[in-house]
Amino acid sequence: MYDLIVIGGGPAGLTATVYAIRKRLNVLLVSKDLGGKTNFHLALPWIDTYQVIRGLEIVNKFRSELEYLDFARQMDAAEKVTREGDHFVVTTKDGGRLETKAVILATGARQVRMDVPGEKEFMMKGLCYSALSYAPLFIDKDVVVVGGGELGLRSAGELATVAAHVNLVCQDEAALKTPLGRKLVAAGNVTLLKAHEVVAVKGDEFARSLVLKDAAGKTVELAADAIFVEQALTPMSAMVAGLAALDDRQRVIVDCACKTNIPGLFAAGDVTNGYAEQVLIAVGEGAKAALSAYEYLLPTL
Ligand SMILES: Cc1cc2nc3c(=O)[nH]c(=O)nc-3n(C[C@H](O)[C@H](O)[C@H](O)COP(=O)(O)OP(=O)(O)OC[C@H]3O[C@@H](n4cnc5c(N)ncnc54)[C@H](O)[C@@H]3O)c2cc1C
C-alpha cells in the first residue's frame, strides 16, 4: 500500500511528487508523460527565442529528479479512483490496481479544439492556446482569437492591451454583455465577428490566416500574425466523478489547502476550480497539495 499516489506529471503533479519524496512518503507518480503542457513551445515566424513566464527551470528540475527516481513513477494512464474502506484504489489502463492511503489528482485540463483542417498541422506554429502566457509577444501585431466564452473574452482583453488589432470570433452574444464584453465591444482595436463559423487554418511553415464562413455562407479569410484558440478547457476529472464534488465546469472543487470534499483525496493545478491556468500557479498548488496530504497521513506514518 502506498502512502500517496499522485496522478498526472505536469507542473502540479511533478511538484507534489517531489515534495512528497522530501517528506519521505512512500509515493508513486502515475502519469502519461512528464512535464504535461510545459512540453508545448510556441514557434513564431518573427522571433527565435523569447522570454515569457514558463516556469521551466523549476519544472525541468523536478522532472529530471523523477526521471532518475524510476521507482517513484509509473508511466501509465489512470482510469478510475475509488474509495475502499479507509484507503483508495487507482486502476490503470495497463490493468494495474494500486492501493494507497491518499491521492493527489493533478491531471490538468485539455483545450477544446476547433477540429478543422490545418489545426493539427499548425498547432504551436503560429496557432496557440494560451493568450495569457503569450500576449506580451504580440505588441503591434494582428491576431485572431476564437472563442466567445469567458476564456475567449479574457484572452482577447489580454491581447487588446498590446496588439495592433484583435479579431474576435465570438458566437456567444450573452458574454458580450459582461463588463469585459462591453469593454471589448467599445475598444477601437477589436473587431467582433459574430455568427461566423471557423472552416480552416491556412499557412506555410506557420499559420498565416483563418478561413471563416459568415451566416450567409460567404467565405472570409483573415490574415493574422497568430491565431489563439480559446474556446474552453475540459478538466480531466472524469476518473473522480461520482467520488469528489465537481463544479458546473467539471473542475474538482478544492479549498485553499487543495483538499476535496473527500478526506484523503486532494487535487491541484488546472483540473481544479482554482483561479487561472498558469505553470507557476500549478507548481504552487502541487506543493500545497503534498504538504496537505502529508498532514492528513501523519497519524498513519
Ligand atoms: C499551448 C499552451 C501553452 C502554455 N504556455 C504557458 C506558458 O508559457 N506559461 C504558463 O505559465 N502557462 C502556460 N500554459 C498553461 C500551463 O501549461 C498550465 O496551466 C499548466 O501546465 C497546468 O499544470 P497541471 O500540472 O495542472 O496540468 P498539465 O500540465 O496539463 O499536466 C497534466 C498531466 O496529467 C497527465 N494526465 C492526464 N490525464 C491522465 C490520466 N488519465 N492518467 C495519468 N496521467 C494523466 C498528463 O499526461 C500530464 O502529465 C500553456 C498552456 C497551453 C495549452
Each residue of 164-178: pLDDT tens digit?
A: 999 999 977 788 888
Q: Which atom of ligand 1 is nearest to the CA of 129?
A: 1
Q: Which atom of ligand 1 is nearest to the CA of 53?
A: 9
Contact 240, 81 (CB under 8 A): yes
pLDDT at 68: 95
pLDDT at 51: 84
Nearest alpha carbon, ligand 1 atom 13: 278
Residues in the chain: 301
Q: Ligand 1 site: residues with CB under 6 angstroms?
A: 7-13, 30-33, 36-38, 40, 52-55, 77-78, 106-108, 111, 128-130, 133, 236, 269-270, 277-280, 282
CA-based nearest residue to 191, from 211, 217, 163: 163
CA distance 59 to 235: 21
pLDDT at 300: 97
- Residue 182 C-alpha to ligand 1 middle, in angstroms? 31
**Residue 269 phi, psi (nearest 5):** 85, -155
pLDDT averaged over every residue in the chain: 95
pLDDT at 192: 93
**Per-residue pLDDT for 52 more than 80?**
yes
pLDDT at 154: 93
User: What is the pTM (predicted TM-score) of this model?
Assistant: 0.95
Contact 55, 279 (CB under 8 A): yes
- Residue 189 C-alpha to ligand 1 middle, in angstroms? 31
Each residue of 267-281: pLDDT tens digit?
A: 999 999 999 899 999
Each residue of 189-216: pLDDT tens digit?
A: 999 998 899 999 999 999 999 999 999 9
Contact 45, 21 (CB under 8 A): no
Each residue of 20-32: pLDDT tens digit?
A: 999 999 999 999 9
Residue 49's pLDDT band, with cuts at 50, 70 and 90, is confident
Nearest alpha carbon, ligand 1 atom 47: 32
Q: Domains along the chain?
A: 2-110+233-300 (3.50.50.60), 113-229 (3.50.50.60)
pLDDT at 48: 84
CA distance 174 to 60: 41
Q: Which atom of ligand 1 is nearest to the CA of 285?
A: 26
Nearest alpha carbon, ligand 1 atom 6: 133
- The CA-CA-CA angle for residues 273, 144, 139, to 5°, reads 90
- Residue 163 C-alpha to ligand 1 middle, in angstroms? 26
Q: Which atom of ligand 1 is nearest to the CA of 30?
A: 43
- Residue 108 C-alpha to ligand 1 middle, in angstroms? 5
Nearest alpha carbon, ligand 1 atom 48: 36
Residue 114's pLDDT band, with cuts at 50, 70 and 90, is very high
Residue 149's pLDDT band, with cuts at 50, 70 and 90, is confident
CA-based nearest residue to 170, from 208, 133, 198, 204: 198
- Residue 39 C-alpha to ligand 1 middle, in angstroms? 8
Pocket mutation for ligand 1, best pick of 107, 138, 155 (most atoms within 8 Å of C-beta): 107
Q: How many CA atoms lie within 13 A of 30 on its CB side?
A: 26
Nearest alpha carbon, ligand 1 atom 8: 54
Residue 243's pLDDT band, with cuts at 50, 70 and 90, is very high
CA distance 99 to 275: 31
- Residue 175 C-alpha to ligand 1 middle, in angstroms? 26
Each residue of 54-86: pLDDT tens digit?
A: 999 999 999 999 999 999 999 999 999 999 999
In Å, the largest CA–CA distance within the chain is: 67
